[in-house]
Structure 1
Amino acid sequence: MNLILLHPDEVKNNRTVLTDARAKHIRKVLKAAPGKSLRVGVVNGPLGHGVVERIDSEDVELVCSFEKSLPARPKVDLLLAMPRPKVLKRLWAQFAALGVGKIVLLRAGKVERCYFDSHVIEPDFYVNLLLEGLQQARCTHLPEVQIEPLFKPYIEDRFANDFSEHWKLLADPSGKKRIRDFQCPDGAQRTVLAVGPEGGWTDYELEMLRGKGFALLGMGDRILRTDTAVVGLLSLLHEWAE
């Protein structure tokens, strides 16, 4: 835990009292004593420092000071064909740690309908994993999550509103261009990366997505699992943007 992440309603008059796993981490891992300064941040808010004012076996009280400016929101969004639930479980924290602003989980043709009945897409499950990723990466921006169980209605009716100012990249083994071959178009404020299921996008889905302005992006001849492809592509995109 590289950042003690606080919810806005936990901070009153620049003070907070923690009694949960964060307090345990401060006591057991950081071995903090009164006067110790710790990195803190507010979910979707500023970064700052919290000085330990009181610590005991039950709770930890911090006096906080925060930066005036907010950290930049990640400029990469993700349109992801719903992976197997056990794969998605591994990915939630990575989405936040690597820096994704918005995640749209979409049902593609080669995605089992039952995946959308899984508890891993319930906010009570995934929010804690997203927070874990933010604390690892020292970031405060909680990714927005949107569930879309029908491909065609979403792409036809709502996709344009969600990603109107985006540069659009479509990951597929048929893509001949690598990320280094692209230049972000003028006027694009953000990037949306579309990653298909392990069985691949169907020809119909590729046609629809390309009709919405997506450019094909390849990573070579190797066929990758969803979690490997997502982590690799997000890392490449952020490195390229820098």
Structure 2
Amino acid sequence: MRKDYISLVDLDDQDSEIDFIEKYWTGVWDRAGGPTQKFDRVFRQEEYKLLKKYITKSNPSDYRVLDGGCGLGQWVLALSSLGLNCTGIDISKKTVGLLQQLFPFGNWVVADIRSTVFPDNHFDFYYSWGVFEHFESGPRDCILEARRILKSDGLLFLTVPFDNLRHAFGEAAAKKKFSVDTRFYQYRFTKLELIRELNIAGFEVIHITPIHKRQGVLRFLEGAIGLPHAWRFSRVLAALLAPVCPASIFAHMLYVAAKKSAKLN
């Protein structure tokens, strides 16, 4: 696993890790405009296309589903619209409070995904997009808690940053850009590292694949060449290049589906 750091411009280095994470992501959700009723784009995302084949029961309301790190709640709203019994948890008290006000019919809970209030063997499946990587002690506590609250043969779906060759081109530029005022932000994982973490914590990996190649190419263009990702030119160029760029080198994230094992390793 490789560490990524974040510049502390406008951020407080005195906060504990959990307070820092809450403040940081509350700011992200605020800048995004807060929760809305729009969730149609969820059904076009790579994660949904990979996830949907596992929703196989004739009555989807029989499923108990957990969104670990639900953010603005679009995924909970989208899956609930399909009849799934979906709960969203997030560390941001402000964001969860807004979700509770705007969508009182939903199940919204403030929680640290490493230690939740749910009983053992409670959920049929649990998905978490880009969350488990943000704790400096590593993802183990997140995965063990997921195992505890999943039913026997329950399914866990994750995305984490992919540590691939693309990063080698941008790391030198990043070191020049950042001052000494940084703190830990996230881990990146190779396929083998992610599989190992899941196996150790009692999961059998059933599918793992790199995703978000266009986003990876866009980040490469900014990190290695200096093209700002917000430029329209950068986005058009990334869209043109992504189909011919190998996912093993350029993909931004790793997606994994894993099944709860009978015993811990």
TM-score normalised by L of structure 1: 0.31
Please state which structure has a larger fraction of its residues in helix: 2
TM-score normalised by L of structure 2: 0.29
